[in-house]
Chain A
Amino acid sequence: MTELRRVQSDAVVPLSEIIAANGRLPNGWAGSTEPIGIECDLDLVKQLAQKAAAFLPPEQMDPWLAPRIHAALRIPRRVATDEGMWSWLAFHCQAFVEARFRKGREKLHPWRYRGTWSRNALSRLWWGAEMTRNGPDYSVVPLCFARTRTAQFALELMYSWDRAAAIAFARVAEGADGGLRLSDERTNALSTRLKVLLTLRSLDVFGTGETDDMEEFDAEWASHKPTFASLVRDDLLAIAGPSTGAVSSSRIDELAAWFREVVEAELDVDLEVA
């Protein structure tokens, strides 16, 4: 186990500029980091990121790595808000950041190392998995990351902080609710419509009054340390996430049905206009 560290705030910008431009960090960069008081299996995180970078095409890296990085890095949300920590981890997984985000000879944007939660190459995967896991079940996480646009629209708006809504959105966008898979434009339009509709409506009366689990972090789960072999198996159902944060399937189904209605109402409007 390794002490989880953060890059000090005054060093994040210069170091991320350097690694994005040159592909490596200056000697002694570790002197600009500090411990955050908990441990992680850094080797496991690096091995998983390395495997994704070496064996998968860029479009398949996110859906594969997101649930596994989450299961490897057993940290609470409170800790996951630390951007300096995500920079430290991204610096350690530079091969993955390069393989996933460098397009040809274009310059890699430094925010893949230092950016906010949705831009840092690793934090976006961890947060996406955290927001779309259903208790220990990671099966929707790859759907959310099937396309960059689905992840963006499923995770960036405030309604997606509601786990059932984020899961329902990913299922509808990817056609896993039995409907048609939505184009990027339709996914964007659905997200925008929901944002407007939810100014008049509450998400919290869906699901026949069942109360979702109020707790997110599962300290008992976090105390167990997974192995590389246990996390690289193909069967995602064999990888168990935290027992906390479960939402009822009836609530997800009701929300997905409503989201699908919203999509179809928009299609009707388009047909009338045409």
Chain B
Amino acid sequence: MSKAVQLYPHAVSTALGLRLRDFDDPASGRTVEITEVSRTAEDDESKTETVDGYDVSATRGWSKLSFRLTADLPTPELQRILPPTSSVDTDTAMVILMTCASTKFRHGVRLKHAGEGTWSGTAAIQRDDVKGIVTLRPQLVRATGILAVEDLPFATTAGALVAVGEPISLYVDVEPTSGRALLQSTVVIAWEDFANSDHAWRREHPDDVFHLEPFGSAPHLFLNSRYAQLREIMESDAKRGPEAVLRDMAATLIAQPALMQLATAAISGLGFDDDSGSVDVPTGWRADLLVSVLPRLYPEEPSEEDRLQRAAHELRESDGAASLLSRLGSIVQEMTASYKIIESAVRTYESSRDREEALDD
């Protein structure tokens, strides 16, 4: 998969790390339950797991969330990006940029240098100010300028970024049934016995679980009523337990490919005018879906117009289209909160196993 690489005109480290801990609600004084979300990077020789998110959605009642932030940068990296005459304390500032794309929340939190390439501080957010995901990006910034008569390999202007790190996601709202909810809000769902359908394609595929028609003014998702128990489970109102897990797993099984098809259809609807360079945006559900998908697909692009331009360009190039589809697969997993469904399934399995073992005892 292709990945954009930012080039800087001066030495910049990308090894800045950020960790969050001590989550609590200062309004109620209660601890807020969190789940660490990690990703695994694997190469031929090793496998490393990095925490790149914290899910606080399980605690419903918090109105304010405070937490401690710790950033670190290895000393050799500090020495590489700052001239020997610069002081980390007086010539740099560690800023954690907190943003929430849904609410356009953006605040920089300054951390204090605690020595040996470590900075720490606290931050607090109000629930009313954010929705969905809050992203935290660590940035070490040059706070003072350097008067240089010759070109230096270091940043010399105040405000220049000298170290950056991978962003951390704070999941404020992740609904376990979001796969089902997303589908219900985007498509018209109909149950039909595929074997007896008027539609030739469905009749020829009588064993399929679903068939999506991603066209017209509203996309239609046909579910095969031949699987009567599937309907029963999909319409279950269970809040927890095996029934809820089964429902959410089944919904995600259908929601993921369906959303992938819908998103592909929506992006394919973008037209590009070579003369004016403008992008013709589709209307209706395609436009609505683009609004959900593109900010997740191109978080680094600052405006709606930039995101539309980039999607339209990528679509026209074979490598670009392949890369876009690859990333879309990840985005759809995030939209359907796949990890959450699997975690919930594992927890349910573990608690049922514990109960069985207790009975055996």
- Taking Cβ atoms with an 8 Å cutoff, the residues of A that contact B are 9-10, 12-14, 76-81, 110-111, 116, 118, 127, 131, 156-159, 161-162, 195, 199-206, 209, 211-212, 214-217, 219
* A182 CA to B71 CA, complexed, in Å: 41
* A111 CA to B6 CA, complexed, in Å: 35
B204 at the interface (CB under 8 A from A): no
Q: Which of B40-48, B53-61, B155-163, B237-245 lies at the binding interface?
A: B155-163
Chain B, 106-131, contact with A by CB distance < 8 Å: what is the 0/1 string?
Answer: 11111000000000000111111111
B87 at the interface (CB under 8 A from A): no
Contacts of B270 in A (CB 8 A): none
B158 and A161 within 8 A (CB):
no
Q: Out of B6, B8, B131, B158, name the residue touching A81 (CB < 8 Å).
A: B131
Pair count A-B, CB < 8 A = 112
Contacts of B185 in A (CB 8 A): 9-10
A77 and B304 within 8 A (CB):
no
Q: Which of B92-100, B191-199, B226-234, B332-340 lies at the binding interface?
A: B92-100
Contacts of B157 in A (CB 8 A): 201
A156 and B305 within 8 A (CB):
yes
9 nearest interchain CB pairs? A204-B108, A158-B302, A76-B128, A161-B106, A77-B103, A217-B128, A9-B185, A202-B141, A216-B129
Q: Name the residue of chain B whose CB is nearest to the CB of A77.
A: B103
* A216 CA to B303 CA, complexed, in Å: 22
- Taking Cβ atoms with an 8 Å cutoff, the residues of B that contact A are 6, 8-9, 93, 95, 97, 99, 102-110, 123-131, 139, 141, 143, 157-161, 185-186, 188, 217-218, 283-285, 287-288, 291, 302-306
Contacts of A80 in B (CB 8 A): 103
Contacts of A199 in B (CB 8 A): 6
B158 and A13 within 8 A (CB):
no
A212 and B188 within 8 A (CB):
no
Contacts of B127 in A (CB 8 A): 78
A204 and B97 within 8 A (CB):
yes
Contacts of B143 in A (CB 8 A): 205
Q: Out of B126, B160, B217, B288, name the residue touching A215 (CB < 8 Å).
A: B126
Task: Please give 4 more A-B residue pairs, beta carbons under 8 A apart, in addition to A10-B185, A202-B97.
Answer: A77-B128, A78-B128, A214-B125, A217-B126
Q: Name the residue of chain B whose CB is nearest to the CB of A156.
A: B303
A214 and B123 within 8 A (CB):
yes
* A154 CA to B131 CA, complexed, in Å: 23
Contacts of A195 in B (CB 8 A): 302-303, 306
Q: Name the residue of chain B whose CB is nearest to the CB of A258.
A: B159
Contacts of B104 in A (CB 8 A): 77, 127, 131, 161
Q: Name the residue of chain A whose CB is nearest to the CB of B143.
A: A205
* A76 CA to B127 CA, complexed, in Å: 9
Closest Cβ–Cβ distance, residue B270 to chain A (whole Å): 15
A214 and B107 within 8 A (CB):
yes
Q: Out of B124, B131, B186, name the residue touching A78 (CB < 8 Å).
A: B131
Closest Cβ–Cβ distance, residue B143 to chain A (whole Å): 6
Contacts of A9 in B (CB 8 A): 185-186
A215 and B161 within 8 A (CB):
no
Contacts of A127 in B (CB 8 A): 104
Q: Out of A118, A161, A216, name the residue touching B304 (CB < 8 Å).
A: A118
Q: Name 16 interchain pairs, CB-CB below 8 A, sorted by A.
A: A9-B185, A76-B129, A77-B131, A78-B131, A110-B283, A111-B283, A116-B291, A156-B305, A158-B106, A161-B106, A195-B306, A202-B95, A202-B139, A202-B159, A205-B143, A206-B159
